[in-house]
Structure 1
Amino acid sequence: MRPDTLTILRCPYCGGRLTVDETVFHRFDDDAAIDAVLSCQCSQFPVVSGIAVMTVEGVAETAREQVADGDPAGALRTMAGGGDEGAADRFAAAIASPSATYRDVVDALGPEFAEARYFLYRFSDPTFLVADAVVRALGQAVLGGGGRAIDLCGGSGHLTRTMAEFTPSTVLMDWTFVKLWLARRFTAPACDAVCADAHVSLPFASGAFRLAVCSDAFHYIWTKRLLSAEMLRLIGDDGAVALTHAHNSGRDNPSAGMPLAPDGYRALFEPLDSRAFSERNLLADVLAGRIDLSRRDDERSLAADPAVTIVASRRDSVFAARPLEERRGVRGELRLNPLYDVSRTEAGATLRLRFPSGDYEREYGACRTYLPDELTLDGSVLSAVDKSRLTEAVAALLSRRIVLDLPEGYA
C-alpha cells in the first residue's frame, strides 16, 4: 500500500487516521506497506500482501495477530480462505506455481467462486463494454488534471484496470479478500486494494477521490442510501459518481439482488445533476464507436431495460458525447476470447461460441450482437494473436471482442 493511499485511509468505526504500528512486525517494499498493522484510536487493522483489511469482523482479527507475530504467509492463507480450510489449501497450492494464471487460481477455488462463473469472461461481456466506455468518458472529464479514482465493490479489478489508464492513483475496494489479491497479482497490479464492507461507512477521507464507480453491485447493497451518500462524500464538489449495470426492479433478472426503479437510483444522488441511461442505448453507442452522456433517455426506454447506468456530477463537462479512443497498441497480451471453443487445424482454427451457463447466457446474451456464433480464422491471424502482434486483421477482431487484450498471466 502506497503512503499516499495510507494518508486517505480512515477507520470505518471512529473515522480516525491510521498509522503503521512499528512496535510489531512490519514489512515494506521501498515505501509501500506489504505486511503491517495499522492503528487508530479505537482499533487495529492488518495489511496483508499489500491489501489493507479495514474490518475487525470474520477472520481479520486472526490475520492481524498473525501479521503482528511475524507470520505474513499465515495471514495470507487466513484471509484467502476466509475461514474455509479447503479453500485456503487450494489457494496455497495454486499460487505455489510461479506460472499460475488468473484462470488457474480461479479454477482452484472451485465452481462456486464468483470469478469462475462471471469475471473470467468479464472483458467481453456487454455490461463491461458499457462500464468501460462510461469510465473512459468520466476519466476524460474529471481526471485530466489529476486526482484519484475508486472502484467500489470492484471484484478482481477489471474496471480498475481501465481507471489506471487515467490516473496512477487508483483504489479497488471489495469485501472478498481473494478477489483483491487476484487484482493485485494479475488484473490491476498498479492499484491499491482495500478489503472493506460497502454496507457501512467507507474507510476513506472526504473528498479523497474525483471519480467513484460501483459496477454491477449496487443492487446487492441493502444500505443504498448510506452507500450513495458515502460516494458523494468521497468525490467532494468537483467529481463524478457512476453506477453501471444497476438492475431495474421493474424487469426480471437472473440475479436481481435488491434493485430499485431508475428514478429510485437517480434520486439517491440529488442534489447533483443525476441522470439515468438505458444500458441498451449505451451499448448501441459503444458498438457505434462513441459514448453519449449528453442525452436524456425517456422513461419508456428506461422502464423497458433490465439494467441502467446512473451518472451524477456538478460538472457540465461530464454530460457530453465523446468518440471512443482508437486502440494504440497492445497493453497486455492478446488471446482468443475464452467464450469460444477453439478447434485448431494446420490451416487455422474454427471458433464456436459457448456460454459457461444458462444464467450467463440469459444475462449477457447481448454479446451475440458482436460475437458471432461461429467463425474461422486462418493461420496467419492466429500466429499474430499468439505473438500479440497488432495487425489490421487482429485489430478488427479486437474491435468485436473476438480477440481480447488481456492482462499478462490472465488465461
Structure 2
Amino acid sequence: MRRWPVVETIPWLRPDRDDLRERAVAALDAGDPDQAAVVLLADADDWWDGEPPAAAQLRAALRATSLREAVDLLRLGRVGVYFLHRWSDPSWLAALSLTAAHPPNGRPVVDLACGAGHLLRHLVAHGQAEATGVDVVFAKLWLARRFVLPPGAPVALVCADLTAAWPLPPSAAPRHVACHDALYFLPDKAAVVAAALACAGPGGAVLLGHLHNARHPSGTAGLPLPPEGWTALLPGADAYAEEELTVAAVAGRLPAAADPAALARTEAVGLARDAAAAPADPALLRPAPASPLRPNPLYTDGVRRWPDPRWAAEYGERAAAYLPERWPATPGPDAPRRRLLLDLPERW
C-alpha cells in the first residue's frame, strides 16, 4: 500500500515523485519531521528554473522568524518577491475585485494553485468559516501555514498536482472554487476547469483570475490563450478585463463586465460563473475591519522603491497609478484601497 507523508498538517500527494515520497515517509517513521520537511521543501514545480537550496539552508528555513527570511533561505527568487509584495500588485487588486463581485456567500472555498495563501488569509479575516488551499509546491503551502495564515485559521492545505488525479473528495454542498494567476501555466486547461466545475457542484461558483491574453504584449508568459479561448472554457461566465478589475478595486467599487472590445485589448481576462448568483460583497474589496494596517514596505524613507527590475517591469506602470512616488503628507481614508496601508501578516 502506498503511504503519503503529512508534514505541518499538509498532506503531500504528488503521484510522480516516488523517491521524495518514500524519503519523507522514512523520515517521519524515524521520528524526524524536520527531515521530512527538508525533503519536501526542496521540491518545485516543472516550470521552476532556479537553483535548489542546500539542505543546510532548508534546515535554517525551519527556524526562520519571518516570511522575508524564509523566502530568502528557500531561494524562491522571483516567486519569493511576488509573495512578499503580492498585497501591492495590480493582479491582487483584480483578484479582490473579482471575488467581491462573485463572493463565497457562506459556501466553502477551494483555492486552486493557492500559493502562499494570500486570498485564503483575506477571506478568513472576513469571516470565511471553511476553506481549502491546493498547490503543487509544498514550500508555498508551508509558507502559508507558517507565516501568512493566522494561527488556527479554518484552512486545510493539500499539496497535489491539479493535472493528475483530483485531490479533493466530492461534496454534496456547493463550493466556491477559485484559481488566480495560475491556469495559464497548465497545458490541459479544459480538464482543470471541468474538474473545478465538478468540485463546485450545483449551486457552486468558479472564478478564474488573471488569464493571460496571448494577443497582448504582456501576456506571453506560460501557455496563454486569446480571450475567446478563455471564455470558451467557462461558457456563460461573466468576463472582465484585468485593468477594469484593478481600477475598480482602487476606487472601492464593483467592476463592470467587459465587452468584446475591452477583452480583446486587455492584458489578462477574469471569468466568474456562479450558479447561485450570490449577491456582491463590496466589503471584500477592503481589509477586514479588525485587521491592523501597516505602511507599505515598498516605501523607504518616504520614497517608493520597486523590489526589483523584474517586478517593476511586470507591475510598476500600473501600480504607479495608485502608489505615488512619495509617501503623502496625509495618506487619507483611501490609503488601504490605494495599498499605502496593508494588512500584512504579523510575521511578514
1:309-328 to 2 correspondences below 5 Å: 309-317=270-278, 322=282
Q: 2:147 maps to which residue?
A: 186
Q: 1:66 maps to which residue?
A: 27
Shift of 1:91: 2.7
Q: 2:165 maps to which residue?
A: 201
Once residues 209 and 161 of structure 1 are traced to their aligned partners in structure 2, the CA distance between those partners, rounded to angstroms, is: 21
* Contact kept in structure 2, 1:246 and 1:307, CA below 8 Å: yes
After TM superposition, the structure 1 stretch with the greater mean CA deviation from structure 2, 180-189 or 358-367, is 358-367
Q: 1:102 maps to which residue?
A: 67
Among 316, 335, 341, the alignment partner of 1:397 is 335
Tell me: CA distance 1:174–1:114, structure 2 relative to 1, closer, same or farther (3 Å).
farther
Aligned AA (2:31): G
Aligned AA (1:199): T
Among 70, 82, 87, the alignment partner of 1:118 is 82
Q: How many residues align?
A: 334
* Contact kept in structure 1, 2:335 and 2:341, CA below 8 Å: yes
Once residues 54 and 169 of structure 2 are traced to their aligned partners in structure 1, the CA distance between those partners, rounded to angstroms, is: 34
* Contact kept in structure 2, 1:138 and 1:211, CA below 8 Å: no
* CA RMSD in angstroms, aligned pairs only: 2.4
Larger radius of gyration: 1
* Contact kept in structure 2, 1:63 and 1:75, CA below 8 Å: yes
> What CA deviation, in whole Å up to 9, does each residue of 1:20-73 have, x standing for no partner?
xxxxxxxxxxxxxxxxxxxxxx63211111101112433122112222333222
Q: Please tell me whether residue 282 in structure 1 is matched to residue 238 in structure 2.
A: no
> What CA deviation, in whole Å up to 9, does each residue of 1:301-355 have, x standing for no partner?
101011110111222336x585766656442x43321222x22xxxxxxx22222
1:49-64 to 2 correspondences below 5 Å: 49-58=8-17, 59-64=20-25
* Contact kept in structure 1, 2:251 and 2:337, CA below 8 Å: no
* Contact kept in structure 1, 2:179 and 2:208, CA below 8 Å: yes
Once residues 406 and 323 of structure 1 are traced to their aligned partners in structure 2, the CA distance between those partners, rounded to angstroms, is: 18
Tell me: CA distance 1:95–1:321, structure 2 relative to 1, closer, same or farther (3 Å).
closer
1:329-408 to 2 correspondences below 5 Å: 329-331=289-291, 333-340=292-299, 342-343=300-301, 351-365=302-316, 366-375=318-327, 377=329, 395-408=333-346
Shift of 1:255: 5.8
> What CA deviation, in whole Å up to 9, does each residue of 1:171-216 have, x standing for no partner?
1111111110110111124221110112123211223651111111
Q: 1:45 maps to which residue?
A: 4
Once residues 67 and 49 of structure 1 are traced to their aligned partners in structure 2, the CA distance between those partners, rounded to angstroms, is: 12
**What TM-score, normalized to structure 2?**
0.87
Tell me: CA distance 1:327–1:101, structure 2 relative to 1, closer, same or farther (3 Å).
closer
The higher relative CO (CA closer than 8 Å, separation ≥ 6) is in 2
Once residues 248 and 175 of structure 1 are traced to their aligned partners in structure 2, the CA distance between those partners, rounded to angstroms, is: 24
| Structure having the larger proportion of residues in strand | 1
Tell me: CA distance 1:158–1:321, structure 2 relative to 1, closer, same or farther (3 Å).
closer
* Contact kept in structure 1, 2:109 and 2:132, CA below 8 Å: yes
Q: 2:121 maps to which residue?
A: 161
